[in-house]
Each structure stands twice: as structure tokens, then as C-alpha cells.
Amino acid sequence: MKTVKWGIIGCGKVTEVKSGPALQLAENSELVAVMRRNGAKAKDYARRHNVPKWYCDAEKLINDPDVDAVYIATPPSSHKEYTLMTANAGKPVYVEKPMALNYHECREMIDACETAGVPLFVAYYRRALPRFLAIRKMIDDGKIGQVRFVHTTFYAPPTKDDIAGRDNWRVNPEISGGGYFVDLGCHTLDILQFFFGDIISATGHAANQGGFYKAEDFVNGLYIFASGVQGSGNWCFTAASSLERTEIIGEKGKITFATFGNDPVMLETNEGTESYNLSNPLHIQQPLIQTIVDELLGFGKCPSTGQSASRTSWAMDRMMG
């Protein structure tokens, strides 16, 4: 391959700005086919994004000889099915986060791709964003000395749809694997593992305090990273107001950042406080997609794989009990 030609399964909202255009804009990358069960919507997406082919059947897209690699952008309940189909066709897989409904499914996906001899990548795209690479460099350069612990606080009010009881697959465990903790909290847990190594021990308590949907709306977690750094977090999605913050506490200072949005990254030491404005790109998955394309073409390495992403699912399973 001189160019990686992509097919998308599930060309929904996440692919409109975050990833679809990124597959077209990355160097040596081309989006050649899209699939959605609703053929009219697949056709409309293809027209608007100048994609030459569209399908309403995933198997046909996977087996299209013009498709080199498949991006699975459906809800988690179908990640395993489509990954196994793509691996069976001998094609590389790029799958949305969270990787699957649970860690057991992640292992099935990893095993299938290893048996087929194809790579498996997961859309924990923060691992390639300049904002988080800068935080990792601060840590590695010893800006706050040896890291002691990290704590995440994330709370938000229930949405209007949740209060009204409208269907929302993100809080239906049969489709998403859990609630907003699984959908959003996974990003923070994954990027922290990028900083400190795999979570090797995790426990926690989950509850449904608001009663708006079937999934948990509160999680309290404790975990330990392979580096020895201790971690904790509280996630609540039925609070009166909103806050999303992670603090990395070291022997010489503290780094504070938000996983979501473009708030400044704060570095506090005895020498003072520094603020870093590190905005994310418009097509936020493009830097990670570039690493995938580079690896597939033989000159690079993607930092987010099935193995690394499965550890995030492993940790969440244990925190939710």
C-alpha cells in the first residue's frame, strides 16, 4: 500500500467532524466507502463528504476489494461482531471507544485479530494530541518531581433527555456497556495509563442515585498503575452543577487539566504557576489516525491498540463491580 483506503461502518454523528474528515485529511489516507443500516443516510453522508461508495450492509463494505482497513464507529454492542468480521477478511481494524461492552469481549477481539494476523487500533485519540503529549513531557521531564497520586473529579447535571426519559443508547448498558462513566470516564482512565502505565489493580463502587435510566450514574474508583502511582476518581452525573478536572500530584508540584475541552493546563510548583493554552484540532482524531496510517505503511507506531484499550475496559469493569 502507498495509500490506506478506509471504509467506515456506522457513519453517524461521531464521524461528521471528529473522524470522517480526518481519514481524508491524513497523509497517505483516503476514505473510499461508508456504511449505515439506513441506506438513504449512508448515501447522504457519502454525497456530503465526497466518498465514492456507500453501503447499507457491513459485510459488503468489509469485503470490498478497494477497502484496505475498516473503521468501526458504531455503538459498543456491535464492536466485537464487526471486528471479528473484519479480522476474518484479513483487514486492519480501527474501532471506537470504549472498545467493547466489557473486558471479556475485548479479549475476544484481540485474539481474533492476532489469529488473523491483522492489527487492532482503538480510538483513544488523546494519546496523540499535542495537549496530552505536553502533559506527558512535563511528567517525564520531572517538572513536578516523582508523582505521588492522581485524582479525577467529574460531575454534571442530568441532561434534559435523561430527565424526560427519552431513549439514549449511551445510558443503556445493553448497547453501551454502562452509563456516562463508561462513555466519558474511559478517556481519562486511558490517558492516565498513557502517562503512568497499565492499571494493575482497581476497585470501586457504582450506584444509580438519580433513577433516570438503567445504567450507573455514580462511580467511585481506586486504582494503582504499573509505575506505582496511586489513583482515585469520582464520577457523578446527577449533580447540581458541572466540574471536570484531573490533578496529578507530585513531590515538587501539581499538574491540573481537563480531559474534555480546551481549558488551560496548569503547572504549579514552588517557582510559581504556569498556564498552557493547548487547543485541540478541529478534526480531533486526525493525529491518532495519522499514526495508524503510518504504522500500516511501515514507518510509525500507533500508541492506542487493542491491548492498551482493553486495560481501560478491565479497570472500568472492576470499578463498577
**One domain for residues 170 and 265:** yes
**One domain for residues 28 and 87:** yes
pLDDT of residue 213: 97
pLDDT of residue 206: 98
- CATH code at position 71: 3.40.50.720
- Supply the range of the domain harboring residue 141: 130-280
Mean pLDDT by 10 residues, the chain (321 residues): 95 97 98 97 98 98 98 98 98 98 98 98 98 98 98 98 96 98 98 98 98 97 98 98 98 98 96 95 98 97 98 98 90
pLDDT of residue 1: 72
> How far is the C-alpha of 63 from the C-alpha of 60, rounded, in Å?
5
* Other C-beta atoms lying within 10 Å of the C-beta of residue 207: 13
> How far is the C-alpha of 32 from the C-alpha of 174, rounded, in Å?
31
For residue 255, is it within any domain? Answer: yes
* Element (DSSP H or E) covering residue 33: strand 29-35
**One domain for residues 288 and 155:** no
Please state at what angle helix 103-116 crosses helix 79-88, rounded to 10 degrees. 10
The total of structural domains in the chain comes to: 2
Q: Is residue 73 within 8 Å of residue 276, measured between CB atoms?
A: no
**One domain for residues 89 and 67:** yes
Sorted by sequence, the CB contacts under 8 Å of residue 272 that are 6+ apart come out as: none
Q: Is residue 187 within 8 Å of residue 124, measured between CB atoms?
A: yes
- CATH code at position 255: 3.30.360.10
DSSP code per residue over 156-214? -PPPHHHHHT---GGG-HHHHSSSHIIIIIHHHHHHHHHHH--EEEEEEEEE--S-SSS
DSSP code per residue over 260-305? SS-PPEEEEETTEEEEE--PPPSSTTHHHHHHHHHHHTTS---S-B
**One domain for residues 208 and 76:** no
Three-state secondary structure call for residue 79: helix
**CA distance readout (Å), 308 to 121, 122, 164, 296:** 9, 9, 37, 18
**One domain for residues 10 and 144:** no
**One domain for residues 222 and 295:** no
* Element (DSSP H or E) covering residue 30: strand 29-35
For residue 206, is it within any domain? Answer: yes
For residue 318, is it within any domain? Answer: no
Sorted by sequence, the CB contacts under 8 Å of residue 109 that are 6+ apart come out as: 79, 80, 83, 84, 87, 93, 95, 99, 100, 120, 306
